[in-house]
Amino acid sequence: MPSQKVLEQKQQQVAELAERIENSVAGVIVDYKGITVEDDTKLRKELRENGVKYTVIKNTLIKRAADKAGLSGMDEVLHGTSAIATSAEDYVAAARILQKFADTHENFNVKTGYLDNEVISLEKIKSLAKLPSREILLANVLGAFQAPIASFARAVQAIVDKQSEGAPAAEEAAEA
């Protein structure tokens, strides 16, 4: 039987993880076995740089935190080694980084994930992983907004150029 102190620590971990899940827009659970310390360090650095929190935690604690946060349907994948990555702002960062890592490391696997407090399938996680980063998407949107304005400015400039070419000929005709 665990001591009261250990029980309180575990309850605190569950409460903190449940709050983290509730406050995140997306998360991914992975099986991290078989990766080297060097690879793990690089992965954690990339996740941290993209605003993703990554934690290795016991399956029972993940299950309890997920249940407390209102996520159900993860029980069947919570076995073996597990780590959870959560993102408070970016919907695709965790999926993109972890799926890319899983594609290059044989023993590292994505188990499941969630989006807006709803468990999603592995196919959806792989689809999310293929999306470009938030910055690239924003640049594309801004480019789309800017294109009509730039076209209008070029058309106006062409009219001005055409009129300025015709103006000297009109002045010469008036002088003659």
Q: Per residue in 16-35, pLDDT tens?
A: 999 999 999 999 999 988 88
pLDDT of residue 47: 93
Same-domain check for residues 118 and 46? yes
**For residue 43, what pLDDT band results from cuts at 50, 70 and 90?**
very high
Q: Indicate the DSSP class of residue 155.
A: H
Q: Which of the two residues, 128 and 12, has the higher pLDDT score?
A: 12
Query: How confident is the model at residue 168, as a pLDDT?
Result: 57
Same domain, 38 and 74: yes
Are 102 and 34 contacting, i.e. CB atoms less than 8 angstroms apart? no
User: b/e map of 149-175 (b: 16 or more CB within 10 Å)?
Assistant: eeeeeeeeeeeeeeeeeeeeeeeeeee
d(CA 21, CA 127): 21
Does the pLDDT value for residue 86 go beyond 70? yes
CATH number at residue 88: 3.30.70.1730
Q: Tell me what pLDDT residue 134 has.
A: 66
Same domain, 144 and 123: no
**Burial tier of 105 (Cβ tally within 10 Å: 0-12, 13-18, 19+):** middle
Domain that holds residue 141: 132-176
Mean pLDDT of 29-43: 91
pLDDT at res. 163? 80
- Per-residue pLDDT, 97: 92
pTM here?
Answer: 0.72
Task: Judge if 29 and 39 occupy the same domain.
Answer: yes
